[in-house]
Structure 1
Amino acid sequence: MSHSALLVIDVQSSFFHRDYWCEDHFPAFKEAVSQLIAGCEARNVPVINVLHADGDGPFDLASGLVTPMPFLHHVPDVTFYKRVHNALTESGLQHWLQQQNITQLIVCGIRTEQCCETTARVAADLGYQVIFVTEATLTFPMTHNGITLSVADLFHRTETVLNGRFATIHTVESCLQALSSS
């Protein structure tokens, strides 16, 4: 039997102050994250907040913006701060997970293809079972060489490269069902 924990990655007010911020997918994201957190709390799965604090503008602790977004009303079991894209190195999280005998990580948060995906990859390499709940992640369109990837494109790309290699892709509902049956 695995011991699970939910990682709520970078769901912080800093993002409201980035030029790429847009509200298009935010309502659905808020609902999915809220349902996932409530479901994990109801199943006694630890909920861990991970906040990005790298000294860059709104991500600088001194900005006062490295705080959970206002819609988050849960009390996390623990909060960690990271300076790199993944939540496991340099933050103290890996040590805490080992002390708690956590073997399975559920990933949600902001930016799907960056900090969430990177955390999933590193976690898998460290031997964790990873559940990636794409609908409880948020990202924004990205353009490179004149080609723009939509949020749907980025979700598809992330799921494609993670599924079966680094993580199992779940919806909020299927994740909570899996937790109930384990």
Structure 2
Amino acid sequence: MVELPADAVLVCIDMQTGFDSPVYGERNNPDMESKVAELLATWRENERPVVHIRHDSQEPDSPLRSDKDGFAWKTEAVPEDGELVLTKNVNSGFIGTGLEEWLREHGYSTLVVCGLTTDHCVSTTTRMAENLGFDVYLVADATATFEREGVEGESFTADEMHRTALAHLNGEFAEVVVLADVFGDC
């Protein structure tokens, strides 16, 4: 079990319906949404701070554009009144959102990160959080990603991408944990 301060902030990244689009290919961790829902329920029950960040893509054909249906929240992660909602246009939840300022203004120093996608926005936000001096816990089973094509045309499964991204972050930018590790303290 990890020892989280009572004011550890749950940061839910890009929990948007647009990621259900077949354009992204095969995804790992089909239970990710239920894990995020469990985290949210526990945070809310314990009146801990929650931040929701979503992506407003600037790409014309992206399902994550604010003028597309895919911009909507997944039903498992709809923000509630009083929870901070931020919109980003790049991979990092810290760029152009006011997230760092809000965290510092409230004296928060520990983040618990979940959402989509492990190797893009989750990774970038996690890296920046650590670089800015925050303590970060990344919940591996409450994140997911998609298959990718390499620079030489090789294929990488979603699970390979997920595990590789977690390996890059663990111990350097975050402590990678699983849901059961987090629930021991809530």
Aligned partners of 1:131, 1:37: CA distance in 2, in Å? 15
The 3-state SS of whatever aligns with 2:173 is coil
1:1-182 aligned at under 5 Å gives the runs 2=5, 3-17=7-21, 19-22=23-26, 25-26=29-30, 28-56=31-59, 57=61, 58-75=63-80, 77-144=83-150, 145-177=152-184, 179-180=185-186
Identity %: 24
TM-score (norm 2): 0.87
**1:97 alignment partner AA:** L
Aligned partners of 1:54, 1:94: CA distance in 2, in Å? 21
Pairwise CA RMSD: 1.9
Q: Contact 1:15–1:21 at 8 Å: present in 2 too?
A: no
Aligned partners of 2:69, 2:105: CA distance in 1, in Å? 31
Higher helix share: 1
Q: Contact 2:25–2:147 at 8 Å: present in 1 too?
A: no
1:44 Cα deviation (Å)?
A: 2.0
Runs of 5+ consecutive residues of structure 2 not aligned to the other structure:
none
Q: Contact 1:110–1:138 at 8 Å: present in 2 too?
A: yes
Aligned partners of 1:103, 1:142: CA distance in 2, in Å? 33
Q: Contact 2:15–2:116 at 8 Å: present in 1 too?
A: yes
Aligned partners of 1:90, 1:151: CA distance in 2, in Å? 29
Aligned partners of 2:69, 2:161: CA distance in 1, in Å? 30
User: Which structure has more RCO (C-alpha within 8 Å, separation ≥ 6)?
Assistant: 2
Aligned partners of 2:130, 2:85: CA distance in 1, in Å? 21
Q: Contact 1:7–1:107 at 8 Å: present in 2 too?
A: yes
1:23 Cα deviation (Å)?
A: 6.3
1:5 Cα deviation (Å)?
A: 0.5
1:153 Cα deviation (Å)?
A: 1.3
